[in-house]
Chain A
Amino acid sequence: MATIAFLLNGTPQQCDVSPDTSILTLLRDHLGQTGTKEGCASGDCGACTVAIGEATATSHIFSSANACITPAHQLQQRHLVTVEGLAKEGTLHPAQRAMVECHGSQCGFCTPGIVMSLFTLHNDLLQRPLAQTQELSQEPSQEPSQEQLEASLGGNLCRCTGYRPIREAALRMNDIAYERPKWFDATLPEPERLSKVSEAVGATSFFAQPASLAELTRLRKAAPQARLVAGGTDLWLENTQRLTPLNQIIDVSRAAELITIEEGSLTQQPGWWIGAGVTYSQLEPLFKEYFPAFAHLLHRLGSQQIRNRGTLGGNIANASPIGDTPPVLLALNAHIELASVSGTRVIALESFFLDYKKTSLAADEVVSRVFIPKLSSHTQLRIWKLSKRREDDISAVLGAFSYRIEQDKLCDVRIAFGGMAATPKRAQAAEAALEGGAITQQVFRAAQQALRTDFQPMSDVRGSQHYRQQAAENLIERLYLTLSAPDQEVMLHAYAH
């Protein structure tokens, strides 16, 4: 047991709970706050959405999270805002009022989560310009764009309304007069000390939050059996779905080196060193500027709640064949840095994945950073994800293509797929078929043929073997069409571009 010190709706709280306690369990079972609901306990429905505030220079910034799969211990020195808090001074928050006035609730079970997602959106609309301009504004700068609405609400399932009144509420809430309550920005409690590293070694149960890579690797060596957690978006399912106790946990999300993005280089190639604990949300500005296709993919990776928590390092270390970012990183020839007490080593990502959920990570190592090289000026990056549902779904097939066209010939072709093999994997035969080839139907037909030697996908709940193979081949055809007939619309822009 360790004490968590945090703010709950503006009031300081201290709780002693086991390491595998989620925020949802903390709220419902320990604090008797049942406004936050459990819909799935797997981070897929959003009924348990809460807002977690972090201090900035001027005010707290709130981001949404699925309480069911977020470790309670990560609340250390954070501000947890729940649906019970919003109207505690007797007036409904604009998100709440708009939901009532727009008939946005029917059965009401998803509503607390929707209100909290709207709350963070409302806050963002008020606050992000504030963060940029340092000016206090009580008026929202603008109506949210459809893109913002989808990003904010795509992770909140509602089975009753069909979402139209919720969309109305999201628009209307910004017209409601509002004054940010003082308690939003109440002072965060100072814990006795953040890191429990020294205590953790040898303990049967701990939730350690090392503050540096050095502390992290020392702890990793001392407790190789402990589980690493960053966002918890996958690990926590072991607890909620498979009932595995998680007694010893090392939280990488406070280690300084793991949560920074640095411009840098690797073997003279310019690019970015991205800490393994950087969340998808934090990556978004960088990707928007330098890898727009990747940024577009992020919008289809999980939900806002997941993107606020999940990390690039987690997506890689998890080594799932259907993770969304690894195929892209393979196509980009990303490298990863593995760290241990004896130092660091940098390897190409493709040598990291050995077999289904098996990697070359040693027992005392952690994935510390990811290097993404800058695209050379003529390199194109295409990322196409196929899934049953556009938002918040896992890929059936994901294809990532990077290439240059020089003198009408394809070169430096790197293609990788997810969902087609036991690991995220390059399509080397297809790459070879395209490398140096002209943009002709014949060349791409050969690449389609070559895909059959690259992959023998399997059937599962997300798609049949036949579909996966056909779909992958059709994506090669899509690539051909985008290159041969650039003026023709050959895909739906909501899905790909």
Chain B
Amino acid sequence: MRTLTKLDGNSSRARRELHDHIQGAGPLARHTVESTGQRQAGSSSYHESAEKHVTGNATYIDDLVLPANALHVALGLSPIAHGSLTQLDLSKVKDASGIVDVITFHDVPGHTDIGPVFPGDPIFVDQEISYAGQCLFAVAATSLQAARRAVTLATVVIDEQPAHLDPVTAAERGEFVRPSHIQTRGDWQLALHQAEHLIEGGLFVGGQEHFYLEGQACVVHPTEDEGVIVHTSNQHPSETQKLVAEVLGIPFHAVTVEVRRMGGGFGGKETQASPWACIAAIIARRTGKSVSLRLPRSEDMRATGKRHPFHNRYRLAIDAEGIIQGGEITVIGDCGYSPDLSDAIVDRAMFHADNAYSLGDAQVIGHRAKTHTASNTAFRGFGGPQGMMVIEGAMDDIARKIGEDPLIVRKRNFYREGRNVTHYGQQVDQLQLLHTLVETLESDSEYWSRRKAVSDFNATSPVIKKGLALTPVKFGISFTAKHLNQAGALLHVYTDGSVMINHGGTEMGQGLHTKICQVVARELGLDLEKVRITATRTDKVPNTSPTAASSGADLNGMAARDAASKLRKRLFDFAAAHFEGGLDREGMHLEDGMLIAGIGESERRIPWGELVQTAYLNRVSLSEKGFYATPLIHYDRSIGQGRPFYYYAFGAAVAEVSVDTLSGEYQVDRVDILHDVGDSLNPAIDIGQVEGGFIQGMGWLTSEELKWNEKGVLVSDGPATYKIPTFGDLPAIFNVALLEGHPNSMASLYRSKAVGEPPFMLGICVWSALRDALSSLTNYTMSPHLDTPATPERVMLAANAIREKTL
């Protein structure tokens, strides 16, 4: 048998070398507290739960031990995408064995609309059905199986109406979930009028299912007063707290929400984890029993929203060099039936319609189309990836038009001196960084020699065609809803010297808790072992923002650092005054588990344990809270101008693909990535984010295809039909590196940069490389249309279309 793919021995060795390299202490930023311990912030500590993960001891929601009388909930979901509920007869459901409670819209004691930002999401259908998978009723039984089987006994009569599924038609009809928004800079019409070349195009960019491995799940316990304790797999505990309280009609302080960890989130548990907690909470209060609600995979996929599909169009004026002078870009986000977070998501698509390129005098319009599907929601990149696709597609199109290599065209269009203001008015800092990064990658990946090899190969290979592409990423960091850019932390030191840190962020695998522990360890000069993090709870740190927008470490790390540095200062003040003979306050620091004061012969060292014991006995508080709010940011939506982002994170990737133009099958042969995380907080975790984000982005654009039938029912509703990348999709050669020596120009946490979302968009290079391969069929004279996901079906049909055209 032939080997399935070639394993590159050098690559494997290279990975090990890199690994050894990142095991060492990472680069440190200019900061008063240096990292000394190998595992403090700046070094590659293991994930705080790694040993628990590999032994099966890490607890997820469905692993929680329930009381013997706990109830299990199953949901009745609408089979129809659009219509009116005319009859809902649940008598047989109620009579089924093991059923304890059945609830509908009419059983909700408080608010019935659980829209997270804007209203529009009923907890249960009252009359109007807006998507297939919308929740009609809930059944609580003594076992999950009894509940699920009882659901099938319901009599549901729906007056079915045609489902509107096309966002372009919706936009033409003005069917929007939120008003359209426009960003304009300069006289874009004049630019188009005076254009040397006009170039235009359109693209459908498909959505994406989150496919977190742990599905939506929660357990709700009633408390002895009117409240509940909610355990949930959830990126936004504070919002769930609010919604549960409102649905029950009780004050927020009666609801405690706890999140220890998620089995993946990716945005899918930012707003869309709340409905289940609300439903379970109602039943818990009604029955006085603990309630578990976990969505089976197919229901999870039908009931919850996804990454927004987008229809994008561009019309650009370019000069003879292919440099954009101006133009207009229109993005239409398919929001599904309700606003959810779509306003901000389409905004972010607009903010990223330029990616790394100056659009000149440009107008960007974003529509929020309403369709009869689940309400599309946050997903890693939050609209940014869909916005970038339009300009990356345009770059390839321009290159074919002027007959240049796409990399040359991209580089010519990068933001630079004199062309350094975005279409929404933000000045791009660190202007040189992307140029340096791309030049480094260009040379490390041997782009030009491989370009020649690819062309040579294609000249003699009629069926298999190779493609090569380098695409950059510039991603804005901050919530565009300004008030969310705040965070809190709570730090306790116990009298044995052990440290507990809590903060508002949630752990979904991204290593946030690990980084936060490392921050505290670094601030207090302790070994990482001494610092522990427990579950995120709304009663420890209140009024938190979602763990989203890549902001988890930026915001919560700063809050934790604030708490630690305040406590440190208090201990220093105490130590200086208290210890016999007085300690030199100047230069006092914490290192290797010691307080160190003075230098040379006068140096005094007090072990951390003794320090905190003494402080305690002297009635000094060993607890502190921290807070952080991102400075500088603002955006005026009425004029579409401002500085919405504290800074940008950059990166670039090169993909080489081989395409079988007869069958549409393809493989990614090699990928090289260079990514900017400022000064890394934990290089191993950051590399993990870069690699994982890239593969997820590649999956979005290649094999992950959402399909609805003509009636609006999702038919790709499980892993048998919805294909995320698997082991063999890992490129045979995969070189990933972090850009070193470029600390964040903003005063972020130890000059690090956010890393959760930006690498996702590195995956665009795979799509661009596929188009490059297809373009070779036209000897690079034409830019093939290739909607996404670029499945083998789409690639084959694109190749067939080119063949028919050129015959």
Contact residues of B between 40 and 82, Cβ < 8 Å to A: 44, 46-47, 49-60, 62-63, 65
How far does the alpha carbon of A164 sit from the alpha carbon of B731 in the complex, in Å?
9
How far does the alpha carbon of A471 sit from the alpha carbon of B796 in the complex, in Å?
8
Report if B127 contacts A (CB, 8 A).
Answer: no
**B695 contacts A163, C-beta separation under 8 Å:** yes
How far does the alpha carbon of A36 sit from the alpha carbon of B58 in the complex, in Å?
11
Neighbouring A residues of B793 by C-beta, 8 Å: 388, 396, 463-464, 467, 471
**B719 contacts A111, C-beta separation under 8 Å:** no
Closest B residue to A112 using CB positions = B56
Report if B84 contacts A (CB, 8 A).
Answer: no
Closest B residue to A153 using CB positions = B727
Report if B725 contacts A (CB, 8 A).
Answer: yes
Contact residues of B between 665 and 693, Cβ < 8 Å to A: 665-667, 684-685, 687-688, 691-693
**A163 contacts B727, C-beta separation under 8 Å:** yes
Partner of B800, one of A37, A154, A470, A492: A470
Contact residues of B between 1 and 25, Cβ < 8 Å to A: 1-7, 12, 15-16, 19
How far does the alpha carbon of A99 sit from the alpha carbon of B262 in the complex, in Å?
19
Knowing A146-B6, A168-B19 are in contact, say whether A96-B54 is a contact too (CB < 8 A): yes
Report if A166 contacts B (CB, 8 A).
Answer: yes
Neighbouring B residues of A208 by C-beta, 8 Å: none
**A157 contacts B264, C-beta separation under 8 Å:** no
**A389 contacts B58, C-beta separation under 8 Å:** no
Closest B residue to A390 using CB positions = B728
How far does the alpha carbon of A100 sit from the alpha carbon of B723 in the complex, in Å?
27
**A146 contacts B464, C-beta separation under 8 Å:** no
Report if B422 contacts A (CB, 8 A).
Answer: no
Neighbouring B residues of A295 by C-beta, 8 Å: 1
How far does the alpha carbon of A149 sit from the alpha carbon of B707 in the complex, in Å?
31
Neighbouring A residues of B791 by C-beta, 8 Å: 388
Neighbouring A residues of B721 by C-beta, 8 Å: 394, 461-462
Segment with Cβ contacts to A, from B317-325, B470-478, B655-663, B775-783: B655-663
Neighbouring A residues of B402 by C-beta, 8 Å: none
Partner of B214, one of A104, A107, A150, A390: A107
Report if A430 contacts B (CB, 8 A).
Answer: no
Report if B98 contacts A (CB, 8 A).
Answer: no
**B727 contacts A166, C-beta separation under 8 Å:** yes
**A494 contacts B728, C-beta separation under 8 Å:** yes
User: A149-190: contact bitstring with B at CB < 8 Å (1 yes, 0 no)?
Assistant: 110011111111111111110010000000000000000000
Partner of B213, one of A45, A168, A467, A470: A45
Knowing A108-B58, A391-B727 are in contact, say whether A243-B149 is a contact too (CB < 8 A): yes
Closest A residue to B65 using CB positions = A32
**B663 contacts A478, C-beta separation under 8 Å:** yes
User: A9-47: contact bitstring with B at CB < 8 Å (1 yes, 0 no)?
Assistant: 000000000000000000010001111111111101101
Report if A258 contacts B (CB, 8 A).
Answer: no
Neighbouring B residues of A163 by C-beta, 8 Å: 695, 725-727, 729-730
User: A461-484: contact bitstring with B at CB < 8 Å (1 yes, 0 no)?
Assistant: 111101100110011011001000
Contact residues of A between 50 and 86, Cβ < 8 Å to B: 82-84, 86
A: interface residue count bin? 35 or more
Query: Which of A35, A95, A288, A396 has the largest count of B CB atoms less than 10 A from its CB?
Result: A35
How far does the alpha carbon of A45 sit from the alpha carbon of B12 in the complex, in Å?
26
Report if B443 contacts A (CB, 8 A).
Answer: no
User: B164-195: contact bitstring with A at CB < 8 Å (1 yes, 0 no)?
Assistant: 00000000000000000000000000000000
Knowing A107-B212, A112-B56, A243-B149 are in contact, say whether A41-B296 is a contact too (CB < 8 A): yes
Neighbouring B residues of A389 by C-beta, 8 Å: 703, 723, 725-726, 729
CB distance from B138 to the nearest CB of A (A): 17
CB distance from B57 to the nearest CB of A (A): 7
User: B437-476: contact bitstring with A at CB < 8 Å (1 yes, 0 no)?
Assistant: 0000000000000000000000001111000000000000
Report if A393 contacts B (CB, 8 A).
Answer: yes
Closest A residue to B23 using CB positions = A101
Partner of A157, one of B15, B19, B213: B213
**B3 contacts A145, C-beta separation under 8 Å:** yes
Neighbouring A residues of B120 by C-beta, 8 Å: none
**A103 contacts B46, C-beta separation under 8 Å:** yes
Partner of B511, one of A106, A463, A474: A106
**A100 contacts B2, C-beta separation under 8 Å:** no
CB distance from A129 to the nearest CB of B (A): 19
How far does the alpha carbon of A41 sit from the alpha carbon of B509 in the complex, in Å?
22
CB distance from B53 to the nearest CB of A (A): 3
Closest B residue to A284 using CB positions = B1
User: A257-293: contact bitstring with B at CB < 8 Å (1 yes, 0 no)?
Assistant: 0000000000000000000000000000000100010
Report if A452 contacts B (CB, 8 A).
Answer: no
Closest A residue to B722 using CB positions = A461
- Can you pick out 28 interface pairs between chain A and chain B where the beta carbons lie within 8 Å of each other? A34-B62, A37-B213, A41-B296, A42-B720, A87-B55, A105-B509, A106-B688, A107-B214, A108-B49, A108-B509, A109-B212, A145-B3, A146-B4, A157-B211, A158-B213, A159-B213, A159-B696, A160-B510, A162-B725, A164-B734, A243-B149, A391-B727, A391-B729, A396-B793, A471-B664, A490-B463, A491-B660, A495-B667
Interface residues of chain B, those whose CB is within 8 Å of chain A, are: 1-7, 12, 15-16, 19, 44, 46-47, 49-60, 62-63, 65, 145, 148-149, 152, 210-215, 261-266, 296-298, 461-464, 508-511, 658, 660, 662-667, 684-685, 687-688, 691-696, 703, 705, 707, 715-716, 718-721, 723-730, 732, 734, 736, 791-793, 796-797, 800
6 tightest A-B CB contacts, nearest first: A35-B56, A107-B509, A109-B263, A108-B53, A162-B695, A106-B509
